[in-house]
Amino acid sequence: MAQLSDKVVAITGAASGIGRATAVLAAERGARIAAGDWDRAGLDELTKLAADRGWAMQTVQLDVADEAAVTGFIDGAIAEFGALHGLMTCAGITSPVPAIEMEPDEFRRILDVNLLGTFLCVRQAVRAMVRAGTPGSVVTVSSALALTGQRNGVHYAASKAGVIGLTKTFALEQGDSKIRFNNIAPGATESPLLRRTVSDEFLEAWAARAPLGRIGQPEDHATCACFLLSDDSSWITGQTFHVNGGSIMP
């Protein structure tokens, strides 16, 4: 079990889904958590849970596409906890629109959150770690759809493919800083975002085709993320982890 008792970890998209599951598991394993999300109600529930369980957790309403807000989020985590050792970028949105009907503004809206938002968060966290001379770990979240494409989701698939390229580039550039960068590419995973965009019939068919016979749960990804955020993965960087029940085997 990867322990995080000496780590300060910032997590975006922390109010629900994979981000929330990672915040909870990392806190259970001893990390101090800065949790950011646009969803204030979800953050309030997480704040209450942290208080009830005695976790060290700061929650911040955050628009990851806002550069000033991202700077405040990262700097605030360091001011609260004294350091930053890890970042996980889970914030993401989508909307179902056929590619030939999609307007440029809608394409940009999804990329602003999923790709630009990831870049801004990673860049700011890395700058802080480099200034402090702190070895660290960054975990980004893409999607199996980055490899397969997605009907009615050209913006989402493109943004998640971009996240993989972004992660590898940071790994190449920052090796000397002893900061590691890895990516998790989830398959179909139980979350509010998934339920808003696909039907129950689609999920049943997806699970039936998957070798392990089910869709994912947020906790499936949280365990992988906590391993990557811990020192147990100290010689792993620039990799994409396909956590998908075997549904895609690249």
Q: Active-site residues: which are they?
A: 156
- Label each residue of the chain as H, E or C: CCCCCCCEEEEECCCCHHHHHHHHHHHHCCCEEEEEECCHHHHHHHHHHHHHHCCCEEEEECCCCCHHHHHHHHHHHHHHHCCCCEEEECCCCCCCECHHHCCHHHHHHHHHHHHHHHHHHHHHHHHHHHHHCCCEEEEEECCCHHHHCCCCEHHHHHHHHHHHHHHHHHHHHCHHHCEEEEEECCCCECCHHHHHHCCHHHHHHHHHHCCCCCCECHHHHHHHHHHHHCHHHCCCCCCEECCCCCCCCC
